[in-house]
Structure 1
Amino acid sequence: MTTAAETQRVALSFEDGITRFIEVEEDQTIVDAAYKARINIPFDCRDGACGTCKAFCESGEYEEGDYIDEALTDAEADEGYILCCQTYPLSEMLVNVPITSAAAKTGAATLIGTITELEQLSPSTIRFAVEIKDRESLTYLPGQYMNIAPPNADFHRSYSFSSGPSDDIVTFLVKYTPGGLMTTYLTEQAKVGDELNLTGPMGSFFLREPNSPLLLLAGGTGLAPILAILERLAELEDYDKPVRLVFGATKNHDIVEVERLNSYKDKLKDFDWFTVVSDPAEEHERKGYVTDHLDPDEHLHNGDADVYLCGPPPMVEAVRTYLGALDNPPTNFYYEKFTPQGTGDGGTEKVTVTRESDETSRTLTVESSQVESGQVHSRVADSEAQFQALNALEVGVASLVIDLLDEEDFEEMTRLAEEANRHIDGSVIADADGFITANTAFHEFLFRRSGNEAMLQAYRSLRTEEVMVRDLQDGSQIEPEIPSDHLKFIEALRSRDMAAVREVVGHHTEIAVSTMSTAIRAQSGE
């Protein structure tokens, strides 16, 4: 177990895009540290009994404390949910708190910065750098933005950091908009040494803990948060997954920061990038839209990649439509689009949070006057996660009982397998309810036989039966090898061959995931 340091930094990300960082001492829970920082995370009991302070841990290690199942189920804990009143951080953490910052009686901080660089990179792009007077007080996640205003101005504009969170000087990219308030200020009035007011950090578009290949998509100055993400990835010595960037632009002169982008080929273990230009009058190797040049195998890894996109609204909607139509949509899709028509008048902005779910995905959208951020999580991925977890548990329980099983056990398992197989007609499930009930009994047998209550509860907490009830129906297609896999599993156990057990369980997981994915797509009409 990781040893806790004296303090750990915890990022609290609220529904309206505001992020607050707190320092949690060794003997403090997240709730205690938050209240010390005057952030009111809701709670009722402090004893792990009510579940009021339930939140989701995006990344980090922690001691989960004591609680009852009514407050936090084992399945929720396995997914990453925590009770803030019971959680002791053991490392830096990122926690999604399911309320707005206003409800927590907190908000973004306003800082003073001085312009240290101001450069027009191209006819369409301005870059400026800012030295924050109290840099240590500014902590942000790669991908987030700040609301920036000149002194005494009655307007602000939202700009994403193009620098990494570790950089001393922070940088931003701005789209040149003729007649725009900030464009006019930056090109006609601002000079090095001038001060700016910066409020934030803000935004729910930021790099999550990277455990998968990444596809990064940028449109125009939407490159800024992507650069911040790349900067953070370059700091992670152990990250070796493929990272691909597609940079979309209207004209050739919109392609900026080329030297910096090329530098990541040396900084990252497996990185490559290319550009796409949409203006038909331009000469460029790749013309059209970003979606015209995506390869689902190389760039999306058959759905295993996480996708991050920042760009103008038409690009975001086009990519979202493209990804949604794939047979294997990405496991996680995070996007942000800036809306130039936003008022940004300096007043308190209304933030709208929307949750939606359908047959194929779960979506969370956070919208303000200038920015819309969203995340789409594939329901196929949710189903796959259940069966991958079952894979590990079944191999584990098999290793516990393989030397204990006798012929009576094998006869009972065969009976259960045949009962499950009876409800399958070739490649179709004839009776979904009957199959699910019998299949669950078959897979549960070893967990009951082990006599290990913790293993049995771990199996039941996976919700695989719930997922199957939700997605399978009479007439659903099923991989035809599933019935024979049931019997091969029994024979591998009878032979006391753990290598064969692992092979059968692994194969069974693959075709079970395929069956569930097919069922989900069929429900959605694809």
Structure 2
Amino acid sequence: MSFQVTVQPSGRQFACDEGETILNAAIRAGVGLPYGCKNGACSSCKGKLISGNITHGAHQEKALPVTEEALGLSLFCCATPHSDVTIEAREVAGVGEFPVRKMPSRIAKIEKVADDVVIISLQLPATERLQYLAGQYIEFMLRDGKRRSYSMANAPHKDAQISVHIRHMPGGLFTDQVFSTLKERDILRFEGPLGTFFLREDSAKPVVLLASGTGFAPIKAIIEQMIHNESGRAMTLYWGGRRPQDLYMHALCEEWARTIPAFTYVPVISNAHADDHWDGRNGFVHQAVLTDFPDLSAYQVYACGAPIVVDSAKRDFVNLCHLPAEEFYADAFTSEADLA
């Protein structure tokens, strides 16, 4: 049995199988509902249920408070319909441009760039190339059926390989394996491209790029895409970490700042030690943006990192710096701890 989902105001319709979430059905149908984590933690897929019956699966209270659910709001990533439904959601143009595929990949290189960060380069089959938008992510499919999401850290034009940045989360099912037993030439299967966090190339607005930790990965892909496009749009990158070593590609960002006239780099450290000899900006990374850009009304912002960083940035940029809410694009990295 399947149910029909109608999206307003576009009028787009797609079928949703019994037991399937509205978001998964939309992805399968190439309908661009906004989303991020796909597991009820980030609220990117929140919309309104206009008619019909649904059941919500497990999700975080902060993503969909009971008071909002009572008003008819829904998280489509964990909403399963029991009848035909009509929803209200802002569709994202371009999401369905490239098909979501399951693909094998071979680890071509594992590079340790910090004590707790590695960059893995994945070689795709010679006859296939993954088409995606700069900023999107893939899901590794693990043997026990679980999945782990990582953003592509290179722009799609770069080469036949894709790279991901992985931070070690002690006790993590996947990252413990990455930092102990995973080796070059091992095979990893993934599904992608996924996500509605990507560069909007139809705008001439200057951009502020905000990253914390390995949230730098999709931001790097977006910057590379803008360089490749020769867009000329002003770019200001704020990259935050606790210690200087957390900015594991600091030299690359400094090179961009030296060689790209429209590019500015602002590294920000929140917990520098005396022996770090850090003489740059201190504090929380989004607050550095608040200081430098009291008026963001004419900008786009792309933010990626820990949920607390992304949530704080959106709240303060919109409420204090006059950023139009629709010009804040974000990908909040969620771990298993974030889902508890």
The question of a shared fold, defined as TM-score above 0.5 by the shorter chain, is answered with yes
* TM class, shorter-length: 0.5 to 0.7
| Deviation at residue 17 of structure 1 after TM alignment | 4.6
Match of 1:165 in 2: 156
Matched, 1:214 2:232: no
Match of 2:49 in 1: none
1:325 alignment partner, SS class:
helix
Match of 1:14 in 2: 32
| Deviation at residue 242 of structure 1 after TM alignment | 1.1
Match of 2:289 in 1: 294
Matched, 1:234 2:252: no
| Deviation at residue 108 of structure 1 after TM alignment | 2.9
**Change over 3 Å in CA distance of 1:123–1:216 after alignment to 2:** same
| Deviation at residue 13 of structure 1 after TM alignment | 5.7
| Deviation at residue 236 of structure 1 after TM alignment | 1.0
Deviations 1:275-314 (A, max 9, x none): 1111264643222101332256x54764111000001011
1:141 alignment partner, SS class:
coil
1:274 alignment partner, SS class:
strand
1:188 alignment partner, SS class:
coil
Which of 230, 246, 253 lines up with 2:238 in the alignment?
Answer: 246
Matched, 1:199 2:217: no
2:153 alignment partner, SS class:
coil
What is the rounded CA distance, in whole Å, between the counterparts of 1:339 and 1:191 in structure 2? 25
Q: Conserved in 2, the CA contact under 8 Å of 1:116 and 1:129? A: yes
Match of 2:118 in 1: 126
Match of 2:302 in 1: 308
Amino acid at match of 1:156: R
**Change over 3 Å in CA distance of 1:135–1:281 after alignment to 2:** farther
| Deviation at residue 109 of structure 1 after TM alignment | 1.2
Match of 1:260 in 2: 252
Which of 313, 317, 321 lines up with 1:319 in the alignment?
Answer: 313
**Cα RMSD after superposing both structures:** 3.0
| Deviation at residue 328 of structure 1 after TM alignment | 2.2
**Change over 3 Å in CA distance of 1:56–1:321 after alignment to 2:** closer
2:281 alignment partner, SS class:
coil
Show structure 2 runs of 5+ residues with no match: 1-29, 37-89
| Deviation at residue 175 of structure 1 after TM alignment | 1.2
Question: Which protein is richer in helix relative to its size?
Answer: 1
Show structure 1 runs of 5+ residues with no match: 1-11, 19-54, 59-93, 98-105, 344-368, 371-526
| Deviation at residue 222 of structure 1 after TM alignment | 0.3
TM (norm. structure 2) is 0.67
Amino acid at match of 2:327: N
1:303 alignment partner, SS class:
coil
Q: More displaced, 106-115 or 169-178?
A: 106-115
Question: Which protein is richer in strand relative to its size?
Answer: 2
Amino acid at match of 1:288: G
**Change over 3 Å in CA distance of 1:252–1:201 after alignment to 2:** same
| Deviation at residue 182 of structure 1 after TM alignment | 1.5
What is the rounded CA distance, in whole Å, between the counterparts of 2:271 and 2:127 in structure 1? 41
What is the rounded CA distance, in whole Å, between the counterparts of 1:301 and 1:135 in structure 2? 48
TM (norm. structure 1) is 0.44
1:154 alignment partner, SS class:
coil
What is the rounded CA distance, in whole Å, between the counterparts of 2:118 and 2:135 in structure 1? 18
Match of 1:341 in 2: 336
**Change over 3 Å in CA distance of 1:270–1:187 after alignment to 2:** same
Pairs within 5 Å for 1:64-463: 94=94, 108-134=100-126, 136-149=128-141, 152-167=143-158, 168-209=160-201, 210-237=203-230, 239-265=231-257, 268-279=260-271, 281=273, 283=276, 284=278, 285-295=280-290, 299=293, 302-330=296-324, 332-341=327-336
What is the rounded CA distance, in whole Å, between the counterparts of 1:324 and 1:194 in structure 2? 45
Q: Mark the structure with the bigger radius of gyration.
A: 1
Q: Conserved in 2, the CA contact under 8 Å of 1:313 and 1:337? A: yes
What is the rounded CA distance, in whole Å, between the counterparts of 1:176 and 1:14 in structure 2? 32
Q: Conserved in 2, the CA contact under 8 Å of 1:212 and 1:306? A: yes
| Deviation at residue 267 of structure 1 after TM alignment | 5.7
What is the rounded CA distance, in whole Å, between the counterparts of 1:148 and 1:267 in structure 2? 35
| Deviation at residue 133 of structure 1 after TM alignment | 0.8
| Deviation at residue 154 of structure 1 after TM alignment | 3.4
Q: Conserved in 1, the CA contact under 8 Å of 2:290 and 2:321? A: no
What is the rounded CA distance, in whole Å, between the counterparts of 2:333 and 2:106 in structure 1? 25
| Deviation at residue 188 of structure 1 after TM alignment | 1.4
Amino acid at match of 2:197: F
| Deviation at residue 318 of structure 1 after TM alignment | 1.6
| Deviation at residue 325 of structure 1 after TM alignment | 2.3
**Change over 3 Å in CA distance of 1:268–1:13 after alignment to 2:** farther
Q: Which has the higher contact order (CA 8 A, sep 6+)?
A: 2
**Change over 3 Å in CA distance of 1:182–1:325 after alignment to 2:** same
**Change over 3 Å in CA distance of 1:135–1:247 after alignment to 2:** farther
Amino acid at match of 1:289: F
